[in-house]
Amino acid sequence: MDSTQLTTLTGVIDKKMNRQLKQYLDICARCAICKDACHQYVGTGDFKYLPARRAELIRQIYKKYFTKTGEFVPALYEARDPDENLLDELYDSTYACTGCRRCMYYCPFSIDTAWILSVAKAILIAAGKGNEMLGQLADAAIFKGDNAEMFNDVMVSGFEDIQEEVRAITGNPNSQVPVNKEGADILYVALAGAHSIRPAAVIFEEAGENWTISMFEAANYGFFYGDVEKARLITKRYIDEAKRLGVKEIVVPECGHAYRVAEFFYEAWSKEPMPFKISHILEKVDQYIKSGRITVDKGLIEGKVTYHDPCQLGRNGGKFEEPRDIVKAVTDNFVDLTPNRAEQWCCGGGGGIVAMEEFKDVRLASGIKKVEQLKASGATVLACPCENCRLQIEELNEVHELGLQVWQVIDLVVAAMPLKGTKPTHV
Amino acid sequence: METYLWITSVWGIYLTAVVFFGGMAWRIYQWATTPKSPVRLGMFPKPKSGAGRFGKLLADTFIAPQSAKIEPTMWIFAMAFHVAALGAFVGHLRLIREFPLLPAWLGEAGMNTFAAWSGSIAGTLMLVGVLFWIARRTFGPYKNLSVPEDYLLLFLLLGVIVMGDHMRFVYGGVVHAATYREWFVSLLTFKPEIPAELLASNVGVSLGTHMLFTDLLLMYFPFSKLVHAIGAFSSNLVRSE
């Protein structure tokens, strides 16, 4: 391979090097205990999806260019150049990875394969092999941030439509979807789409919350794409908005990576302390229910209900109990999946994979564990607080004819609230 | 044979000590001077207190309960190997000085019997562990994951264990700890000598080969994946950050 490209790609590793990465690359024993942890390897049996193998590709470059033993005896480590062969396999194994970190949970050394793959993504991008779809979606989000006024009118009129729907549900003509409200306590950063805003608005309004809706969506394709600068700019859109409006707290919607980005990544990207409290919407809803700010009735939800922990919210975000408490507050007929919480199987839809058509086959095959879990639970209703999980599980639901209703948790809550208006049907 | 022993079991050991301790120090220095990851890489459930984190670190590193849950077979063999290796290491401390108390309780014959049993068990478990790993790497469905480094280390370990077992099983009743101690303490005091008892039988060949493999294994140790022996502590600690 030509030396300029080689210098560029090894330069990426050098720039991204940190203690954890170095240790992960130095200590992996290739014991392959991770093989049974990965839904993609289990679902496909394809060697390239074995977590240690994904990391091994980066290790091969690292050994050759960052260690003396690998430099002198590359054959000992199968150390090699980041050539086309390596990059092609790396593309598949990296962009297919949902970043669920289930392999890290079971690893005797807690090696974070997803962290190693964040370097893999940077290498692929530097080699001009970043995933185009994710890159374009990220650029579109940044464009929207740079040209916010261009989108203002259409956004505001969209929020007005949602406000009408909210009033129909609450039966209260004063219910609002506040836009650009200075001095609000909470900035709710939703997902693109009324489904993410409507039930949240009903709950905030019924709880008497002082909130306002963000002009920007919480989804972050820069994060999935693997470009830290793009990811930072996308998040910065609502951080700046929150500063401008003077809110105290940013609430992220039912989206796994949005919470992790805001709570765990943004400080590192922006190199400044997060000036706001970050909450997941289900933390707020759980508090509203427990403090009596909203009322929910058991018995309004029909069927046996189960709950799927999105990896970024559960194992990687620590929100295991709040969503469960909410679900248990709206039904007595609750059953947990097995395994659950930190050991929950990834549904196979994370990491932006649902947006990449080329990985459809591996994505569906990787959902087999989730399908088995759902069948074994005997549930007819699934509460799932993550958009990507829902898209994946709805597709699995169709393919495997599970006959499952897949709900957002906030939709379940609204359905269980005794409101004067018209009951929303399940979307 | 005397020359062989001087190379592998005197000068080889001095060289190994320099490479091993120097290499490990260099490895730790490299890790310590590389800046920490800017992102907190912990996962949940996460202990809230410092003591809780420390406890979890010890449990994750020494017991690996999650690994046990997902692949019990591998865990049993790995655990057996590591515990046996620790036992063998403790047993080898007799090379420096005799254990306190035990010989007084057991008497000289009793101590030899105890050493024979514990050494045999540890040596057998380690052998079984290494053979299991070789088989798992060679015939497992994910054998493509293995690289020559893995086989080299297993080969060196096998050499160390087989020759150690050879000394334990064949010469265990002939040559006792006191003889080896004479040799090892002479190394530690930088007045190296090889006792006549070691040259009187073929035990010298076994010792020389045991040490040859040990020298090679320990000299490669700091530059191989075996640094997980120290790296696992900090990587497991990151799990709670």
Structural domains of chain B in order of their starting residue, each with its CATH number: 2-238 (1.20.950.20)
User: What pLDDT does residue B81 have?
Assistant: 98
**What is the spatial distance between Cα B49 and Cα B40, in angstroms, rounded to a whole number?**
16
Cβ of residue B148 closer than 8 Å to a chain A Cβ: yes
Of A30, A37, A109, the CB nearest to B235: A109
Q: Are residues A53 and A124 in the same domain?
A: yes
Query: Is residue A427 in some structural domain?
Result: no
Contact at CB, B227 and A76, closer than 8 angstroms: no
Q: What is the extent of the structural domain holding A248?
A: 134-290
User: What pLDDT does residue A299 have?
Assistant: 86
Q: Are residues A62 and A124 in the same domain?
A: yes
User: What pLDDT does residue A426 have?
Assistant: 63
Nearest CA in chain A to B78: A31
**What is the spatial distance between Cα A333 and Cα A302, in angstroms, rounded to a whole number?**
9
User: What pLDDT does residue A170 have?
Assistant: 97
**What is the spatial distance between Cα A86 and Cα A6, in angstroms, rounded to a whole number?**
13
| Angle between helices A113-126 and A3-16 in degrees, nearest 10 | 150
Contacts of A104 in chain B (CB under 8 A): 43, 239
Q: For residue A313, give how far its alpha carbon lies from the nearest alpha carbon of chain B (Å).
A: 10
Contacts of B38 in chain A (CB under 8 A): 18, 268-269, 271
**H/E element, A306:** strand A305-307
Q: Are residues A236 and A274 in the same domain?
A: yes
Question: Rounded mean pLDDT of A194-221?
Answer: 98
What parts of chain B have a pLDDT lower than 70? none
Contact at CB, B37 and A21, closer than 8 angstroms: yes
Contact at CB, B232 and A108, closer than 8 angstroms: yes
Q: What are the tens digits of pLDDT across the range A358-372? A: 999 999 999 999 999
Give A420's contacts (C-beta < 8 A, 6+ positions apart). A170, A171, A172
Contact at CB, B45 and A67, closer than 8 angstroms: no
Q: Are residues A119 and A60 in the same domain?
A: yes
Query: Is residue A272 in some structural domain?
Result: yes
Q: Are residues A285 and A165 in the same domain?
A: yes
Give A403's contacts (C-beta < 8 A, 6+ positions apart). A380, A397
- Beta carbons of B123 and B81 less than 8 angstroms apart: no
- State the average pLDDT for chain A: 97
Q: For residue B195, give how far its alpha carbon lies from the nearest alpha carbon of chain A (Å).
A: 37
Query: Is residue A296 in some structural domain?
Result: no
Question: Rounded mean pLDDT of A374-400?
Answer: 98
The CA-atom distances, in angstroms, between A153 and each of A156, A190, A379 are 5, 18, 43
Of A21, A27, A32, the CB nearest to B145: A32
Question: What six digits make up the tokens of A155?
Answer: 């956004």
Q: Any idea what the CATH number is for the domain that residue A36 is in?
A: 1.10.1060
Q: Any idea what the CATH number is for the domain that residue A328 is in?
A: 3.40.50
User: What pLDDT does residue B110 have?
Assistant: 92
**What is the spatial distance between Cα A397 and Cα A415, in angstroms, rounded to a whole number?**
22
User: What pLDDT does residue A287 have?
Assistant: 98
Contact at CB, A320 and B44, closer than 8 angstroms: yes
Give A54's contacts (C-beta < 8 A, 6+ positions apart). A48, A90, A93, A94, A97, A113, A116, A117, A120
Query: Is residue A25 in some structural domain?
Result: yes
3-state SS class at A382: strand
Cβ neighbours, 10 Å, residue A299: 10
Cβ of residue A342 closer than 8 Å to a chain B Cβ: yes
The DSSP secondary structure of A155-203, one letter per residue, reads HHHHHHHHHHHHHHHH--TT----BS-TT-SEEE---SSHHHHHHHHHH
Q: Are residues A22 and A164 in the same domain?
A: no
Cβ of residue B152 closer than 8 Å to a chain A Cβ: yes
Contact at CB, B147 and A265, closer than 8 angstroms: no
Cβ neighbours, 10 Å, residue A232: 21
B:53-112 residues touching chain A, CB 8 A cutoff? 60-61, 64, 66-67, 69-71, 74, 78
| Alpha-carbon dihedral sign for residues B169, B174, B180, B183 | negative
Query: Is residue A327 in some structural domain?
Result: yes
Contact at CB, B34 and A24, closer than 8 angstroms: no
Return the half-sphere exposure (C-beta side, CA atoms, 13 A cut-off) of residue A419.
Answer: 25
Of A33, A47, A316, the CB nearest to B67: A33
Side chain identity, residue B204: G
The separation between the first and the last C-alpha atoms of chain A, rounded to the nearest angstrom, is: 52
Cβ of residue A338 closer than 8 Å to a chain B Cβ: no
Contacts of B147 in chain A (CB under 8 A): 30, 56, 76-78
| Alpha-carbon dihedral sign for residues A63, A68, A74, A76 | negative
Reduced to 3 DSSP states, what percent helix, strand and coil does chain B have, rounded to the nearest 5? Answer: 80, 0, 20
Q: Are residues A139 and A282 in the same domain?
A: yes
Nearest CA in chain B to A22: B31
Cβ neighbours, 10 Å, residue A168: 16
A213 φ, ψ to 5°? -90, 145
Return the half-sphere exposure (C-beta side, CA atoms, 13 A cut-off) of residue B119.
Answer: 25
Cβ of residue A101 closer than 8 Å to a chain B Cβ: yes
- Beta carbons of B145 and A50 less than 8 angstroms apart: yes
Contacts of B239 in chain A (CB under 8 A): 104, 110
Beta strands A381-383; A405-407: pairing state: parallel
Q: For residue A137, give how far its alpha carbon lies from the nearest alpha carbon of chain B (Å).
A: 24
Cβ of residue B46 closer than 8 Å to a chain A Cβ: yes
A381 φ, ψ to 5°? -125, 130
A406 φ, ψ to 5°? -105, 115
Q: Are residues A145 and A285 in the same domain?
A: yes
A395 φ, ψ to 5°? -70, -40
Nearest CA in chain B to A112: B41
| Angle between helices B50-62 and B228-238 in degrees, nearest 10 | 140
Contacts of B225 in chain A (CB under 8 A): 26-30
Of A76, A96, A130, which closes a domain? Answer: A130
Q: For residue A367, give how far its alpha carbon lies from the nearest alpha carbon of chain B (Å).
A: 19
Q: What are the tens digits of pLDDT across the range A243-264? A: 999 999 999 999 999 999 999 9
Give chain A's largest Cα–Cα span. Answer: 76
**What is the spatial distance between Cα B201 and Cα B113, in angstroms, rounded to a whole number?**
21
A270 φ, ψ to 5°? -90, -10
The CA-atom distances, in angstroms, between A146 and each of A149, A213, A261, A380, B95 are 9, 19, 20, 44, 72
Query: Is residue A423 in some structural domain?
Result: no
Query: Is residue A231 in some structural domain?
Result: yes
Contact at CB, A26 and B231, closer than 8 angstroms: yes
Work out how many CB contacts closer than 8 A connect A with B: 145
Give A333's contacts (C-beta < 8 A, 6+ positions apart). A301, A303, A304, A305
Cβ neighbours, 10 Å, residue A207: 17
Of B45, B69, B235, the CB nearest to A24: B235
Question: Rounded mean pLDDT of A143-160?
Answer: 96
Side chain identity, residue A272: E
A348 φ, ψ to 5°? 100, 0
Q: Are residues A201 and A152 in the same domain?
A: yes
**What is the spatial distance between Cα A236 and Cα A269, in angstroms, rounded to a whole number?**
10
Q: For residue B143, give how far its alpha carbon lies from the nearest alpha carbon of chain A (Å).
A: 9
Q: Are residues A192 and A121 in the same domain?
A: no
Of A258, A290, A322, which closes a domain? Answer: A290
* Strands of the A249-252 sheet, one edge to the other: A211-213, A186-188, A249-252, A277-280
The CA-atom distances, in angstroms, between A377 and each of A322, A361, A366 are 21, 25, 19
Instruction: Give the number of domains in chain A.
Output: 3
3-state SS class at A307: strand
Contact at CB, B38 and A47, closer than 8 angstroms: no
**What is the spatial distance between Cα A412 and Cα A426, in angstroms, rounded to a whole number?**
9
Cβ of residue A346 closer than 8 Å to a chain B Cβ: no
Contact at CB, A75 and B148, closer than 8 angstroms: yes
3-state SS class at A211: strand
A307 φ, ψ to 5°? -135, 135
Of A226, A257, A290, which closes a domain? Answer: A290
Q: For residue B47, give how far its alpha carbon lies from the nearest alpha carbon of chain A (Å).
A: 11
B:160-219 residues touching chain A, CB 8 A cutoff? none
Q: Are residues A268 and A335 in the same domain?
A: no
User: What pLDDT does residue A427 have?
Assistant: 54
Cβ of residue A15 closer than 8 Å to a chain B Cβ: no
* Percent of chain A predicted with pLDDT > 90: 98
Q: For residue A169, give how far its alpha carbon lies from the nearest alpha carbon of chain B (Å).
A: 37
Contact at CB, B145 and A318, closer than 8 angstroms: no
Is the preceding peptide bond at B141 cis, omega within 30 degrees of 0?
Answer: no
Give me the residues paired with residue A277 across strands. Answer: A249
The DSSP secondary structure of B73-134, one letter per residue, reads HHHHHHHHHHHHHHHHHHHHGGGTSPPSSHHHHHHHHHHHHHHHHHHHHHHHHHHHHHHHHH
User: What pLDDT does residue B140 have?
Assistant: 83
Cβ neighbours, 10 Å, residue A399: 11
Q: What is the dihedral of CA B220, B224, B226, B229, to 10 degrees?
A: 100
Q: Are residues A177 and A261 in the same domain?
A: yes
Contact at CB, B74 and A31, closer than 8 angstroms: yes
Query: Is residue A422 in some structural domain?
Result: no
User: What pLDDT does residue B162 have?
Assistant: 98
Give me the residues paired with residue A406 across strands. Answer: A382
Question: Rounded mean pLDDT of A38-47?
Answer: 97
Contacts of B146 in chain A (CB under 8 A): 30
Contacts of A31 in chain B (CB under 8 A): 74, 78
Mutating which of A30, A31, A115 best tests the B interface, going by the most B Cβ atoms within 10 A? Answer: A31
